[in-house]
Amino acid sequence: MGEGRIDLSRARVLVTGGAGFIGSNFVHHLLGRFPDAHVVVLDALTYAGRRENLDGIPAGSLTFVHGDIRDPAAVARAMAGCDLVLNFAAESHVDRSIEAPGEFIQTDIYGVFVLAEEARRQKIRRFIQVSTDEVYGEVLEGAAGESWPLEPRSPYAASKAGGERLAYAYWATWGLPIVVTRCSNNYGPRQYPEKLVPLFITNAIEDEPLPVYGTGLNRRDWIHVEDHCEALVALLQHPGIEGETVNIGAGNELDVLAITGAILDLLGKPKTLIRHVEDRPGHDRRYALDTAKITRLTGWRPRTPFDRGIRDTVAWYRANETWWRPIKQGEFRAYYERTYGQRKVLKAVQA
């Protein structure tokens, strides 16, 4: 701890959940900047983990371990010889947490325990626990700083709060060099299409309805995944921040209707695709983060304006239909019908 700036040029980095959306983008980003580093990806390849998300990475730069962060043997095998750990592995969709909360507790809390125990044994140099702004609960006024109380309102948010606090306890008790990050809503390429942005892009391409919960006025801060990855690299390198919690956000506070309108405009699709449907239970109205701390510590600032980021994201899904079309069959289709098929339509937008 406090040893000075961490050199990533030849580091060996364990990325859990590295075949998922943010994890795989981080692997591409890190190796793009530090081609002599080596990444070990540990991923269970559940529904949202896609091995093809790592296509294009040189074989000599990547070791893939198919395993679960809840499995001590798989974790020990993957972490052996690593200097740094980033834990992206998580159950991460609020709707699914309402449907099956137990899975979230197992992965997002017990999985962190298994990782932290092994990191302590292997004397890992830095362990970043990737969390979420949702641990703060609704922020109806102002912006949540890192010292705000945690008031999670969904099983997903509660499980992430439990996991990050357990990781922090390993720093406070044993000196494990933990850094906790809380990031706002990510969007960008390779995002599993249950999430709002890729769901609405792909539905619109297929001329299917876009199911907007309630009024559609719930507000979030939206950060392009590349900006999130750059922030994580800055925090991996920065000296003397063990035990810190750091917010990451972009200051792009937009409601769901604004996101929906931007997507439809970019695709040249009509607003009549919008369907306002019955809201989900406990739907938080607003999240907002104070991100002054990460700028003060590292100098990092987001670089992707939302209009450019969403345009590039829409273009990626248009150009990569062979990636998402197979996903939207089978298990996804059954989940989609369970989540949206039975919801009462409150209003259809008229031409």
Instruction: List, for residues 34-87, the tens digit of each pLDDT value.
Output: 999 999 999 999 888 999 999 999 999 999 999 999 999 999 999 999 999 999
Report the pLDDT value the prediction gives residue 122, as an integer from 0 to 100.
Answer: 97
Q: Can you tell me the distance from the alpha carbon of 126 to that of 14, in angstroms, rounded to the nearest whole number?
A: 11
- Residue 134 counted as domain residue: yes
C-beta atoms surrounding 306 within 10 Å: 21
Domain around 137: 12-190+222-253+283-307
- pLDDT, one tens digit per residue, over 162-175 is 999 999 999 999 99
Of the candidates 10, 52, 16, the one whose C-alpha atom is nearest the C-alpha of residue 31 is: 10
Is 1 a residue whose pLDDT tops 60?
Answer: no
Report the pLDDT value the prediction gives residue 330, as an integer from 0 to 100.
Answer: 81
Bigger pLDDT: 336 or 262? 262
Q: Can you tell me the distance from the alpha carbon of 184 to that of 254, in angstroms, rounded to the nearest whole number?
A: 12
Which residue's entry shows tokens 């994580």? 232
Cα dihedral 124, 129, 130, 131, rounded to 10, equals 180
- pLDDT, one tens digit per residue, over 329-351 is 888 898 898 888 888 888 788 76
pLDDT more than 90, % of the chain: 85
Alpha carbon distances (Å) from 195 to 21, 96, 97, 119: 11, 11, 13, 31
- Residue 217 counted as domain residue: no
- Residue 151 counted as domain residue: yes
Global confidence as pTM? 0.95
- Residue 199 counted as domain residue: no
At residue 269's C-alpha, the angle toward residues 267 and 270, to 5°, is 155
Tokens standing for 278?
Answer: 């019955």
- Residue 335 counted as domain residue: no
Whether 27 contacts 54, CB under 8 Å = yes
- pLDDT, one tens digit per residue, over 22-48 is 999 999 999 999 999 999 999 999 888
Instruction: Please give the average per-residue pLDDT across 228-241, as a whole number.
Output: 97
Q: What is the CATH number of the domain that holds 53?
A: 3.40.50.720
Phi–psi pair at 20, nearest 5 degrees: -85, -170
Report the pLDDT value the prediction gives residue 92, as an integer from 0 to 100.
Answer: 64
Bigger pLDDT: 96 or 1? 96
Report the pLDDT value the prediction gives residue 3, as an integer from 0 to 100.
Answer: 64
Cα dihedral 48, 50, 54, 56, rounded to 10, equals -130
- pLDDT, one tens digit per residue, over 99-151 is 888 889 999 999 999 999 999 999 999 999 999 999 999 999 999 999 999 99
How far from the centroid of its chain's Cα atoms is residue 149's Cα?
21
Instruction: Please give the average per-residue pLDDT across 272-300, as a whole number.
Output: 94
Number of domains in the chain: 1
- pLDDT, one tens digit per residue, over 152-207 is 999 999 999 999 999 999 999 999 999 999 999 999 999 999 999 999 999 999 99
Phi–psi pair at 17, nearest 5 degrees: 70, 25
- Residue 88 counted as domain residue: yes
- Residue 348 counted as domain residue: no
Question: Looking at the annotation, which residues are catalytic?
Answer: 133-134, 156
Which residues fall within 8 angstroms of residue 67, CB to CB, at 6 or more apart? 42, 43, 44, 73, 74, 75, 77, 78
Which residue's entry shows tokens 């699914």? 96
How far from the centroid of its chain's Cα atoms is residue 308's Cα?
20
